Amino acid sequence: MSLELQFKIKNDEYCQRYLRENSYWYKLLNRDPNNFKAFENEVKDHFKLKRVHKIEKTIDTIGMIEKVLSTLN
C-alpha cells in the first residue's frame, strides 16, 4: 500500500475502524490503490456519513421535536 494511501487512512478514524473490521479491504487496496474511492463510499455508507443520511437524521429530529411540542399543547 502506498504511503499516501496509508496517511489518508491513518488521518480518518472512520476509515481506520472500518478497515480493522473488514480486513479484506487490505488486500484490495494493496492490489489496486484506485479502489480507495469505493472504500470511502462503503465507509460513508456504513457509518451514515453521506448528505442523505444527515438530511434524514435532521428530518427525524424535527419530527421528534414536533411530536414533543404537540403533546405539550
Query: Does pTM surpass 0.85?
Result: no
Set of cell numbers at residue 32: 489496486
Q: Give the C-alpha separation, 16 to 9, whole Å.
A: 6
Segment 4-14, tens digit of pLDDT: 999 999 999 99
Give one DSSP letter per residue of 22-57, joined into a string. Answer: -THHHHHHHH-GGGHHHHHHHHHHHTT-SHHHHHHH
- Total domain count, the chain: 1
Average pLDDT, the chain: 93
Q: Which domain holds residue 22?
A: 3-72
